[in-house]
Amino acid sequence: MNKTVFITGAAKRIGKEIALSFKELGWNIIIHYNSSKEDALNLAKEINNANKNTAITVQGNLDVKEDVNAIIKEVLDAFPSIDLLINNASTFYPKPLSESTKEDWAKLFPSNLYHPLFITRELADSLKKHKGHIINMTDIHAEIGLKNYSIYSAAKGGLLNLTKSLAKELAPDVLVNAIAPGAILWDVNEPSEKKKQQILADIPMKRIGSDKDIVMLADFLITKKNYKAFVEVKNVTLMRKSKIAEFPDAVTSRGLKHIDELIKASKKGYEIYIAFIVQREDCNQFAIANDIDPEYSKLLSKAVKKKLNVLCYDCKFSSKGIKVNKSIKFKI
């Protein structure tokens, strides 16, 4: 029996590309749309031409309670078994504080927060029954905010925390994750060329993301659900020699315990990682401070032989905060 995915806002852009990716997996696909009827019907036709009777469309305005109720009924009537819910639909537009109104709140909060919650509530039993998944599309600005988008950022911040809460509440039956895109596709509210260059300068890959990047991540979250990993993150601030960051900066019994835990996790089938994050901009190399804590150095080397993956990145500082920047050379 084919698995079934329900994608809100699936007629165009990211939602469409996600739908097409599940076509390749042979899933049943429920395509929700509001006003993009022609796009939704064409997408369903394309999918059904490849995999007969696997795609349907459902129409409704997620800002209208009655529409949401009708959508849920239509979804469950068509496919009682829901394996994956992707809350992708979103209303997005700028609204400076001085111009913000209750009407803007009423437009931006429902699709970005209110209805992901209640759609999830109505589909929770089906998702639990089939050990399903939920992916909520949040936004990088859910955590750092975006000028002139205060209401939108607040709604996405709520969705991010809703995701974290539901992950605990629905576990272990339903796996709940969020994808938080940054700069994706210029064609909506396209910035000036100068602004584009400013945005690209802060992105390590020096390019904006694409809908294909989101699809790859969604695919990983669903198809790689048995992938297990432990990741230990260490903040690095010590520099004794020019441009060389070091860790630890003192004897660390706690650090030894963490490496031991990673080794134990590896024996249980987990991939194990340790990430050293250099929180300064004047270093281009990283090394273990053997003289400060030789025992830590020995145990880390032992763990590397047991397939510990070591990562090291520097950071970039700005008035907006601290960002992981790029990989730097290291020697263990």
Three-state SS for 278?
strand
User: What is the residue type of 99?
Assistant: E
Count of beta carbons in the 10 Å neighbourhood of residue 111: 22
Nearest to 6 by CA among 66, 80, 63: 80
Gyration radius (Cα) of the chain, Å:
23
Distance CA 298, CA 136 (A): 42
The answer to whether the beta carbons of residues 328 and 281 sit under 8 Å apart is no
- Residue 224, both tokens: 């790689």
Catalytic residue among 114, 152, 296, 313: 152
Q: Are 244 and 291 in contact (CB under 8 A)?
A: no
What gap in Å lies between CA 136 and CA 156, rounded to an integer? 10
Q: Is 152 a catalytic residue?
A: yes
Alpha-carbon span 323 to 321, nearest angstrom: 7
Mind telling me the catalytic residues?
A: 152
